[in-house]
Chain A
Amino acid sequence: MKPLPAFLVGLAAATAACASAATFAVVLQRRAAARSHEQPAYAPPPEFAAIPPARRLAEGRRLFLNSCAHCHGEDGRGDDGPDLHALWVSDRRIATVIHGGIKGEMPSFAKKHRDVEIAELIAYLRTLD
């Protein structure tokens, strides 16, 4: 085969390989989100119920700006960390990530934030649509 047609075949093969990888990635993302919703529902700590909704969000926003905005951006649109708008995963998964971090990607905030603060953060994150 001549060099140029062979190059075009190579380009087609690379496009097919990248498209397959992207499809696989989307399947994995959707499966991870679906699995996070199969887990038992997230139960915020009892004191969270006593906090008025407006205060939860204000406090969640304050905590977000202190702990999360550094990596996720002040608007939550992502910077060093990913965009946090319209998260597919469940509240339990969000709480687990804030609490335990993600190896290789995000530190744990278990020592920095109490459970009620994590619940306030989740309440605020759910307003980012």
Chain B
Amino acid sequence: MSPEVWAQLHGATTHFPIALALSAVACDAAALCLWQRPLAERLHFAGKLALAAAALACLPVIVSGLLMTRGGLWGAGALRSHHAFAWPAFALVIVLATWRALVGAAISRRAFALYLAALGGLAALLAAAGYWGGELLQRFP
């Protein structure tokens, strides 16, 4: 398949992990606020599921991105800026999703707050990667 097809797929798939990670942030932030209430448990579960789905949704994004650039891991200019945020975001989403899947529900509120801060960092990294991805489209449409 031509790189253009992979570019279109990359553009189409890239929004799923962003939306799912932001959903995880929203659910988990709400769960932290409603810590002792019955609704918190459901929000915890939704947040956990959204983050796991975000980690899985990263796979087609990574594969299509690498195929589109013929194996370009870093690149230059705006592409380098895009990758400088995209790769740490990929690593962080894997770390957080694995951690969340393993610790289950038995975690302290403090540990959960730290996790939520890291999730906020992930959202910031994804936003920055998305910004530079948009810049690439603007510069060389």
Contacts and interface: CB of A to CB of B under 8 A. Distances in A.
Interface in A82-107: 82-83, 101-107
A3 B103 contact: yes
Contacts of A101: 140
A88 to B, nearest CB: 11
Most chain A CB within a 10 A radius of its CB, from B68, B95, B97: B95
Interface in A9-42: 9-11, 13-15, 17-18, 21-22, 24-32
A44 interface: no
Interface in A26-78: 26-32, 71, 78
Contacts, number: 98
Contact of B70 (A28, A83, A103): A28
Contacts of A24: 63, 66, 71
B interface residue count range (under 10 / 10 to 19 / 20 to 34 / 35 or more): 35 or more
B137 interface: yes
A26 B99 contact: no
A14 B111 contact: no
Interface residues of A, number: 38
Interface string B61-92: 01100111111110111110000000100111
Interface in B46-73: 62-63, 66-73
Contacts of A82: 75-76
B98 A32 contact: no
Nearest to B62: A21
A18 B97 CA distance: 15
Contacts of B73: 21-22, 25
Contacts of B72: 25, 29
Interface of B: 3-4, 7, 62-63, 66-73, 75-79, 87, 90-92, 94-99, 102-104, 107, 111, 136-137, 140
Interface of A: 1-3, 6-7, 9-11, 13-15, 17-18, 21-22, 24-32, 71, 78-83, 101-107
